[in-house]
Amino acid sequence: MLSIKNLHARIEDNGQEILKGLDLEVPAGQVHAIMGPNGSGKSTLSYVLAGKQDYEVTDGTVELDGEDILELGADERAAKGVFLAFQYPLEIPGVGTMTFLKATLNAQRRARGEGEVSVPEFMKLVKKGADDLGISQDMLKRALNVGFSGGEKKRNEILQMALLQPKLAILDETDSGLDIDALKVVSEGVNKLRSPDRSFVVITHYQRLLNYIKPDVVHVMSKGRIVRSGGPELALELEKKGYAEYGEAA
Ligand code: ADP
Ligand code: MG
Ligand code: MG
């Protein structure tokens, strides 16, 4: 499980504190949604959890299954099973999608001291994952994310997640820019990966995604902290009332 206590983090460049004493507990097997106004620090939280370099943790603890992960680099965290799906996926013109997927899987295996995945084993894993997500062979042959529609990029991320089998998956506004069909496919992909030993943190500005990915708990983030937690009904309330009371201009 994920346990965050009194997390404070600032931007390295300008010293601005963004996370201001954030507490969050996500038990294994649960899906927790984090909602909140723009600028409340949701993406910063996901970057800090993934170990991105531009942020400095100044106080607090983050434990995954009882182990402090703040001292680990991004690669080591990935090896421990932390997965972050980016709000804006990278386009990498020179790199084929299959090559990229294989490289991320092998990076994880190497960091775990395991051997590289064999070609037949990899092909089998990719085929299964791609079929589940409605990803075509043609798409897998193209360069990573180049010319992909919003929906194709997100499917590709979920495929990456399915291959890596994370312990903690963080989805940062993975619903942004998706039409309803793509949203359903992505949600089904996530729902298939729900399991008793995997936790999800689903960050979203809108309630819509949570119609498809049913959260166990919904948290509201405002000004760098979790300020309220409740059941799925909290998301519906936010949808109706907006974030005005949490510091966003109406
Ligand atoms: P959210 O995802 O909730 O919209 P963010 O975490 O993206 O919020 O941003 C929180 C605040 O931190 C914003 O004011 C944003 O401008 C600022 N911020 C985040 N990352 C950086 C960065 N690398 N450099 C400068 N400002 C940043
Ligand atoms: Mg934002
Ligand atoms: Mg964000």
- The ipTM value here is 0.93
Residues lining ion ligand 2 (Cβ < 5 A) are: 38
Question: For atom 13 of ligand 1, which residue has the closest CA?
Answer: 39
Residues with CB under 6 A from ligand 1: 11, 13, 18, 36, 38-44, 54
* Three-state DSSP class for residue 201: strand
User: What's CA 117's distance to the chain center, in Å?
Assistant: 24
**Ligand 3 midpoint to CA 38 (Å):** 7
What is residue 132's predicted lDDT score, i.e. its pLDDT? 85
Given a contact cutoff of 8 angstroms between Cβ atoms, the answer to whether 232 and 210 are in contact is yes
Q: Counting atoms of ligand 1 from 1, which one is nearest the CA of 224?
A: 10
How many CA atoms, within 13 angstroms, populate the side-chain half-sphere of residue 117?
Answer: 22
- Residue 159 CB neighbour total at 10 angstroms: 23
Total domains in the chain come to 1
Per-residue pLDDT of the chain (250 residues; tens, 9 = 90+): 999 999 999 999 999 999 999 999 999 999 999 999 999 999 999 999 999 999 999 999 999 999 999 999 988 898 899 999 865 667 777 888 899 899 989 988 988 899 999 999 999 999 999 998 888 888 898 888 888 887 888 888 899 999 999 999 999 988 777 888 888 888 998 999 999 999 999 999 888 999 999 999 999 999 999 999 999 999 999 999 999 999 876 5
pLDDT at 179: 83
Q: Which residues lie below 8 Å from residue 39, measured CB to CB, with a gap of 6+?
A: none
Q: Which of 207, 202, 204, 203 is nearest to 238 (CA)?
A: 207
Q: Which two tokens stand for residue 23?
A: 């507490």
Ligand 2 centre from 121 Cα, in Å?
A: 38
Nearest CA to ligand 1 atom 20: 44
Gap from CA of 218 to ligand 2 centroid (Å): 18
- C-alpha of residue 124 to centroid of ligand 3, in Å: 34
pLDDT at 31: 97
Question: Residue 201 forms beta bridges with which residues?
Answer: 32, 170
Looking up residue 204, the CATH number of its domain turns out to be 3.40.50.300
The dihedral over CA atoms of 170, 171, 172, 173, expressed in degrees to the nearest 10, equals -160
Residue nearest to atom 27 of ligand 1 (CA): 11
Q: How far is the C-alpha of 37 from the C-alpha of 242, rounded, in Å?
A: 9
Candidates 245, 195, 199; CA nearest to 35 is: 245
Q: What is the pLDDT of residue 149?
A: 81
Q: Residue 73 C-alpha to ligand 1 middle, in angstroms?
A: 21
pLDDT of residue 133: 86
Write down the pTM of the prediction: 0.91
Do the beta carbons of residue 73 and residue 80 sit within 8 Å? no
Structural domain span for residue 175: 2-246
Residue with tokens 């689903």: 202
